[in-house]
Chain A
Amino acid sequence: MPILQLQFKDKIISKYRVEKGKSIKIGRRDSNDIVIENVSVSGRHAKVESADNGGFMIVDLNSTNGTFVNDKMITTHQLRHGDVISIGKHRLIFGYVKGEARPDIEEKQEEEGWMEKTMVLDTEEHREMLAKTADELRAKITVDKVGILSYLSGAEGEFPLTKKLVKIGKDPSNDIVVGGLTMGKVAATISMMPTGYQLSYVGGMSKPKVNDSTVKESVKLEEFDTISIGSLKAKFILKG
């Protein structure tokens, strides 16, 4: 059976065996199985329960200050070997004993709502934890939307649109250099805006085309749009 190790400031306080079919209550009150004496811990804070797939779940019991797993706030979370549960300033480390059978849950991880109730932010550490959670989620949102130009002709491979502003044109200072007598020094740009990618015409005789219609000013890019500028042709794809 796996073990929960209670730590405070890197000192191991005690160990608890996690058993199938038995729920482990965590909180400040004496009635809990794991008692954590600290004002930032709720009377009934969280519990660990057996999951259908043979694994174990940690469930936050609407605690005031929240339960974190690997610095992410959770409401419920399927525990994996090495997960660090933070409750107030205490940490509980979940781990299987060597050679013990573990449920295969790696692929079934679900996105959980990360914050569901009134909360009081009382420590700086806590605020940092929350800020980090928000930052990570935001980073994930951005990453989810990363656009890529997959070249169809004029070049090979793909160009990831990770810069806020990608410049396309004849001048060697451009991010994507396209030659041609009628090509502008900077012919077009692709901007990463909060609402998506936008292609704009900048200058030169060769105006960019999106799905064969000429762009005179700017246009929002939709996935699978075909972009052509001079000899260059590429498909706009979102990768996540």
Chain B
Amino acid sequence: MYIEVKDAVKTFKQGGTEFTALDHVSLDIEKGEFICLLGPSGCGKSTLLNAIAGFEPVTSGSIKIDGEEVKKPSIKNVTIFQNYGLLPWRTVQKNVELGLESLKIPKEERAKIAEKYIDLVGLSNFKNSHPKQLSGGMQQRVSIARALAVDPDIIFMDEPLGALDAITRMKLQDDILSISRQENKTIIFVTHDIEEAVFLADRIVVVTPNPGKIKCVVKVPLHGYRDRTSGDFLAVRSRIFEIFNMKHDENIEYYI
């Protein structure tokens, strides 16, 4: 297995009481998979992501990527945050070049690579702008370009579209889906939006709170481009609703 989470437990101390964010979570992810961690706020899905990305070590259990224990973040596994994490004092171009600087890539090549990915996310006209001059959707595109520029193996996305309006969000979902097909990266995507998860994921990992546990893993039997209004799509969506007990039986009353 490419990513192996085994018996991961994460506890926090909150004002004297212990709080279990992850309760014996195990999960295997294959290379090139698009995984969505789906669940309500506070269910531990972001904690799980942060643990796999190496930002916060687990209390017990193990997390391995490609056979190696995760101890700290690495430039090979880039995280995209909900509030973008762009450096406001750098232009779009310089933001995308950030990771390339650490990889000691010469200046001209850096510029070339950055331009390629800025172009990929459709922001060529804004490469000399500063993040504050861009809309939220555009800023998130910059941070996607910045992540892709360092050619990572895995991209972690922590509710990346949570701060965007519904229409911008769907547009970006389209783009993320097509980019993920094109670039063939392993992507772990945290969301609380069922439709988003069905639209993007190869497999949906349903996480439930108190304590944070994986309830089940749902394979999404859809391929390539997905139509949000197709029957297949709605069928998968309806299954997820059932898992969250959000479907009520229709009580049809008969009057004769």
Partners in one complex: no
Residues on B lying within 8 angstroms of A by beta carbon are none
Residues on A lying within 8 angstroms of B by beta carbon are none
